[in-house]
Structure 1
């Protein structure tokens, strides 16, 4: 159906071999491959970061809020432009979501200034998102959170491997929360990672991951433990060995894959920059190295986005929206969420074009030429 799909997994025989080795081993639940995945991911992040592999980034966000003691009546500032996971976990723990607007029409991330505008005496945490793989301006955000005594959680779902001033995203806050969903830069189907530089917070995360147990099934299987204690209440947010084996292979490919994404984005920009009806965000930002997770553009206000998406579909080009505004969802209509005018405008006009590391320059050119054709009709 698609000449160019939105995303394609960066898989080859290495992933197949890794999965088959797990199946042949007879050990499927969390085990040695998961430990190796956590170790290698920690090494990639640097800064003596500890990592806990999980079933999803949503699990990581949920654990982060619980570990930091966020609960009933507390306020948590989240981006107005993000996936519903961020607002959902805030509500699940009984806290109140407060929206921070985008910095500008060029930088769609929240900033220290847009966060500061929403801080009250009830604010207990901030969840930032490195949107599309582009890091937030972290110096000011970290300083603000320290000054106000507010916990900082990084949603790094879009940005594995991205860095700000040479420091990897996911190492600035109390916790970093990564996604390994099918369409992410590091893809295992379903999965996530929780990172922290704090030994105490890392241990909290591990307890929440597996029922608060002091030893795991693998430890008892290997004879390293006979029984276990329950240190605290916890959940089952474990990953399994199949997905950890995929994660190991994908992690080994990540740096090169992100470089390929960068080249493709640069080719997109070169082909689209002269089109007046399109605005390309995140241009000429300083101190960052992006992971180039998605390629978002902003359509002119006079363009009907639904009709544009349908026209692309007719030509065999898949596209998407990142993200619909929260206020349009049934679950959030009665929350009286605060205004975020830039984010709401972006949400109404944003369009995501195909991007994945095995994409060719010819496919980029086909997408761009199709866009020009539709606009010039």
Structure 2
């Protein structure tokens, strides 16, 4: 489809090209010095002690759960939102545990509700996954207190939120507040290398496990042996092939250097969207996080509209070559996660949000004048 305004577009240019060419010219493509340099820079930016580059955000979630020993006991549960991408629930199942879905705060704040999260804690709860929807912080102060009271580790799904500092939490960065933070560098993310991820922690013990788990449980990498720092290796745990190669790490490093500027451009667009919808004054329609559009990374630009008109509005936008999407179909609606014994009807806010949300074009190169055009097209569609 030849979109006038696509849903997302990466911001790639000469720095990324130069980084990739330099890597190819070096003759070393697998995980090596560029991956390590990327990890160091990422850890420094996010104020965390350890950062490990992995194949994708799903791999980060997988080894986070595995390192915590989730699924080691029958009946283990992981509380997480249903209003998120399916990766967290999939990896919960993969490690042998059960995902327990909690509701979101509100239509304007679609992050996990701390009160509902706490209600779902049982003796089997082994971890909590929170997801910073659109790059806007969950209510972490409340969630951290709840988790501490029950001695439950927190995994932050910060795939939407690289480079997001939270002044209310002492200037800490999202992904560095819980026990473990997970990031994604998929092509539609705020920074990208096509496929890639990062898992971060301040815990030395978890760091050692992450390092082993991402590379078959091995104690050294091929690069270490190539450099003469090791001649063999041991395998200390059963691990995976989740390494990030130097080619993608080089691309990611170039993107990381641009990340503050890329996030800033997104925030300008998010503020413009919020202002545009507020000015239009269409009943039962509002920009998500419209009360604080500049307080996140603005990975997702979303609006809630009346459910009865949502699909028709999307069809009308497509006719005008404006791409939209849905973030997200709730996980508990998917065939693989339907549980006839689960009280899915108690996820009332998630259910309503899923029926009303439209994800809009939002990326650094989107022209600012596109925002009132898109908002106006939605308003006309709702009034027809």
Matching residue of 1:63: 63
- Equivalent residue runs for 1:195-210 within 5 Å: 195-210=200-215
Give the alignment partner of residue 197 of structure 2, picking from 179, 192, 199: 192
Task: Give 3-state SS (helix, strand or coil) of 2:353's partner.
Answer: helix
Task: Give 3-state SS (helix, strand or coil) of 1:358's partner.
Answer: coil
- Equivalent residue runs for 1:113-132 within 5 Å: 113-132=115-134
| Superposition deviation, residue 326 in structure 1 | 2.2
CA distance in 2 between counterparts of 1:326 and 1:185 reads 23
Question: How many correspondences in the alignment?
Answer: 374
| Superposition deviation, residue 107 in structure 1 | 1.5
| Superposition deviation, residue 307 in structure 1 | 2.2
**Structure 1, unaligned runs of 5 or more:** none
Deviations 1:300-340, CA, capped at 9 Å, x for gaps: 1331x222211111001000000112233221224644321
Matching residue of 1:312: 317
Contact 1:76-1:98 at 8 Å conserved across structures:
yes
Contact 1:98-1:338 at 8 Å conserved across structures:
no
Stretch deviating more after TM superposition (238-247 or 334-343)? 334-343
- Which TM-score applies when normalising by structure 1? 0.96
Deviations 1:76-123, CA, capped at 9 Å, x for gaps: 001121100011011111101101100122221113212101111111
Instruction: Please say if 1:221 is aligned against 2:226.
Output: yes
CA distance in 2 between counterparts of 1:258 and 1:337 reads 38
Matching residue of 2:372: 365
Give the alignment partner of residue 135 of structure 1, picking from 137, 141, 150: 137
| Superposition deviation, residue 45 in structure 1 | 0.5
Instruction: Please say if 1:300 is aligned against 2:306.
Output: yes
Backbone CA RMSD of aligned residues: 1.5
CA distance in 2 between counterparts of 1:23 and 1:90 reads 37
Matching residue of 1:342: 349
- Equivalent residue runs for 1:1-377 within 5 Å: 1-46=2-47, 48-71=48-71, 72-164=74-166, 165=168, 166-273=171-278, 274-284=281-291, 289-303=295-309, 305-334=310-339, 336-339=341-344, 340-377=347-384
| Superposition deviation, residue 277 in structure 1 | 4.0
| Superposition deviation, residue 26 in structure 1 | 1.1
| Superposition deviation, residue 285 in structure 1 | 5.3
Contact 1:38-1:51 at 8 Å conserved across structures:
yes
- Which TM-score applies when normalising by structure 2? 0.94
CA distance in 2 between counterparts of 1:116 and 1:327 reads 19
Stretch deviating more after TM superposition (267-276 or 140-149)? 267-276
CA distance in 2 between counterparts of 1:264 and 1:79 reads 27
CA distance in 1 between counterparts of 2:289 and 2:185 reads 23
CA distance in 1 between counterparts of 2:138 and 2:276 reads 26
Contact 1:99-1:338 at 8 Å conserved across structures:
no
Deviations 1:22-59, CA, capped at 9 Å, x for gaps: 1111111001000000000001011x421000001100
CA distance in 2 between counterparts of 1:334 and 1:147 reads 29
Task: Give 3-state SS (helix, strand or coil) of 1:361's partner.
Answer: coil
CA distance in 2 between counterparts of 1:29 and 1:335 reads 46
Contact 2:101-2:332 at 8 Å conserved across structures:
no
Contact 1:83-1:323 at 8 Å conserved across structures:
yes
